[in-house]
Amino acid sequence: MFYRLVVVLTFLLLPLVARAQESLLIATNIYPPYVNDDVENSFLPNLFTEIGARMGVRFRFEIMPWRRCQQEVENHNAWGTIPYRKTELREQTFAFSDPLYLQDSHFFAYDKHGNEPRYNYTELADLRGYRIGGVYGYYYESWFEEAGLNVDYAHSEEQNLRRLQLGRIDLFPTATTIAWYQIRQLFPPEEVANFYTLETPLIDGAGLHLMTSKTFPNNDVLLKRFNEAMAEIKSSGTYTQLVEKHGLTLRY
């Protein structure tokens, strides 16, 4: 009788144990202030820890170049990659979570005398006369190609901000929060004052998402569980606490 009871309990508990031990790999790159060099103490990994606790999932993070992040998701070596914006092209292949965070993006410029030239743009084609920096694998590559812009791509925000300060490029589009954070880390205050943004945003209040492959096993169910857990975190106030802890601005 005792043996039968043990067997029954074992079969009942196996699904719960399996779920508790479920592990999913997330591909990302260093992207302050969302993913810092101290990965485990960064905003998005901390957010995923809270989400994972509610899902019964342990999220593991691996740092790699952005293009490889996408490839690892396509090949099902990673469940997802963060943080990514939605584009029409990406949505043909990938599925996206609800927004992890909302941010805007601007073109950044620099003037060594601290003057802000009055040029602006209405559409991307208006910027054809400028040397523009970009990051390989970012959402805007197809936009800039279609607009016929002169773009010199590098591998990171830091490289582009340094090139901007040295006068090797005229403009660099990037997330506003990211850029100002890195500018203050890279340059002394007197140099920080010489950076500025064009008035017209490249993107205004767009979401940053978890991007997964539509063909990943059980992906629809996993994303549903993920979104439900994130909704719980936001309604409980935990999300607001994380945003404030990492010095970000809460946006709705």
Domain assignment present for 90: no
CB 175 within 8 A of CB 105: yes
Torsion angle, alpha carbons of 35, 249, 59, 53, to 10: 150
Q: What is the CATH number for 172?
A: 3.40.190.10
Based on the fold, state whether residues 138 and 185 are members of the same structural domain: yes
Q: Are residues 199 and 216 in the same domain?
A: no
Q: Are residues 51 and 135 in the same domain?
A: no
**Can you tell me which residue has the tokens 């719960």?**
16
Check whether residue 79 and residue 34 sit in a common domain. yes
95 domain residue, yes or no: no
Question: Is residue 140 domain-resident?
Answer: yes
- Do 149 and 188 fall into the same domain? yes
* Across 73-96, average pLDDT: 95
- Based on the fold, state whether residues 80 and 152 are members of the same structural domain: no
More confident site: 115 or 209: 209
pLDDT at 252: 56
Decide which of 249 and 30 is more confident. Answer: 30
Inform me whether the pLDDT recorded for 2 exceeds 50. no
Using the predicted structure, report yes or no on whether residue 199 has a pLDDT greater than 80.
yes
> What integer pLDDT is reported at residue 251 of this predicted model?
67
Do 130 and 200 belong to one domain?
A: yes
Higher local confidence (pLDDT), 130 or 17: 130
What is the extent of the structural domain holding 118?
Answer: 103-204
Q: How far, in Å, CA of 17 to CA of 23, rounded?
A: 12
- Is residue 170 assigned to a domain? yes
Dist. CA 156–CA 114, nearest whole Å: 24
Confidence bin at 232 (pLDDT 50/70/90): very high
Instruction: Say what angle helices 43-55 and 219-236 make with each other, to 10 degrees.
Output: 110
Q: In this structure, what token pair is assigned to residue 71?
A: 């490839």
Residue 203 has pLDDT above 90, yes or no: no
Domain-located, residue 113: yes
Same domain, 73 and 163: no
Q: What percent of the chain has pLDDT over 90?
A: 73
Identify any residues that bridge with 173 across adjacent strands, giving them in sequence order.
107
Residue 222 falls within a domain, yes or no? yes
142 and 231, same domain (yes or no): no
In a domain, 149, yes or no: yes
Output the pLDDT for position 213: 98
Same-domain check for residues 77 and 129: no
Give per-residue pLDDT as tens, 10-44.
455 445 444 445 899 999 999 888 999 999 899 99
Residue 141 lies in a domain: yes
169 and 118 part of one domain:
yes
Domain count, the chain: 2
> Are 196 and 216 in a shared domain?
no
Least confident among 17-21, 32-36, 119-123, 229-233: 17-21
